[in-house]
Amino acid sequence: AQTVTQSQPEMSVQEAETVTLSCTYDTSESDYYLFWYKQPPSRQMILVIRQEAYKQQNATENRFSVNFQKAAKSFSLKISDSQLGDAAMYFCAYRSRNTDKLIFGTGTRLQVFP
């Protein structure tokens, strides 16, 4: 069975600085997708970025980028130029091509200080 591990329960960053959130996963599959979701205090789950395992190029969405290391089974999220609105819980998730099920990590709470 696949597992997703986020080893940082909490992180903090100063406004305008850069922060990296870690995620590792375990799978025997070669084809899958990885996601980062943001959950602000409103509780709404918002997709931040997605990465297909077969794509070598790291995904980027504006200030958000990932460092995808397939061999190491690592999928970290980098937030550049952090803003107060980035404060939230961030969840890493894995989705198998075979089952459609989405498996989440336990989350990292990000605080942003002015």
Q: Are strands 3-5 and 24-26 parallel, antiparallel or unpaired?
A: antiparallel
Q: How far is the CB of 74 from other proteins (least distance, A)?
A: 18
CA atoms of 82 and 16, how far apart (whole Å): 5
105 forms part of the interface with other proteins (CB under 8 A): yes
Q: 62 or 114, CB closer to other proteins?
A: 62
Which of the ranges 10-18, 19-27, 71-79, 95-103 carries the binding residues for other proteins, by CB under 8 A?
95-103
16 forms part of the interface with other proteins (CB under 8 A): no
Number of Cα atoms under 13 Å in the Cβ half of residue 59? 18
CA atoms of 105 and 114, how far apart (whole Å): 28
27 forms part of the interface with other proteins (CB under 8 A): no
List the one residue out of 105, 76, 110 whose CA is nearest residue 92. Answer: 105
44 forms part of the interface with other proteins (CB under 8 A): yes
Residues at the contact surface with other proteins, assessed by CB under 8 A: 4, 6, 9, 32-33, 43-45, 47, 50, 52, 91, 95-97, 100-107
